[in-house]
Structure 1
């Protein structure tokens, strides 16, 4: 490993954060072709997990953002034709958000971009190194059960 400034190797946590930044940057660069921000992409992904629709407050909770910020994201997605607002059939005062067919298609394309961005960054690893990294990360994030 190449020593870091001051002759010390970077801490493992710093390397994990640097990797995450590189993947996010590659992902954001790929999203730019569709003029989709990472926050809009996350909202689209959440909406795709609720095919029957979701209330804006639930979207905000799942995105861990303020309701006002969620409204801004929803407005932008609706303006682009990727999302529709409708009255909640169980409570006409409430709003439900659903993806439009165009939004569903975009989510599928974005998932491909996410995979490609990761592949671009992790492409320097051998197959064995990738399996090892996958195993380690699975343990760390609790997905190994």
Structure 2
């Protein structure tokens, strides 16, 4: 059984790895000069998960940010031609956000940059180590199984 202090070094390692991932990903993105911020790239990736154009409130909920933050991100992406606002066909008071062709191309470039960054980060690991890491990360991402009470 671990004590609260015994997990401190592990927590520090996780934080250092997270910062390293961001630095490497940022470097890979900079070489592509896509003209998007990390927050805008996150919004573009989130938009790609929807089958139909979402409302800004849907994006804010999924991104776990306030709606105003989404408005600012959408404004910048719309100015650069990567997204556009479209009217909801069933409710004219609702605005939806749609990827443009340029936005889809930017998203392809973002994915390529993320893949190359991941390859760089994972390069020291053997295929077996990568498999173990993937399982451990799945466990951490999904969280512990819920405890059932009688």
Q: Same fold (TM over 0.5)?
A: yes
Distance of 1:69 and 1:95 partners within structure 2: 16
Paired residues in the alignment total: 137
- TM-score, normalised to structure 2, is 0.82
- Residue aligned with 1:124, SS: coil
The C-alpha deviation readout for 1:67-92, integer Å capped at 9, x for no partner, is 11111100010011110101111110
Equivalent positions of 1:1-145 (< 5 A) are 11-32=9-30, 33-142=33-142
CA RMSD of aligned residues (A): 2.2
- TM-score, normalised to structure 1, is 0.85
Give the deviation of 1:127 after TM superposition: 2.2
Gap regions ≥5 residues in structure 2: 1-7, 144-150
Gap regions ≥5 residues in structure 1: 1-9
Moved over 3 A (4+): none
Give the deviation of 1:139 after TM superposition: 2.1
Distance of 1:106 and 1:35 partners within structure 2: 9
Distance of 1:60 and 1:127 partners within structure 2: 37
Q: Which residue in 2 is equivalent to 1:4?
A: none
Distance of 1:138 and 1:60 partners within structure 2: 25
* Greater shift in the superposed pair: 74-83 or 32-41: 32-41
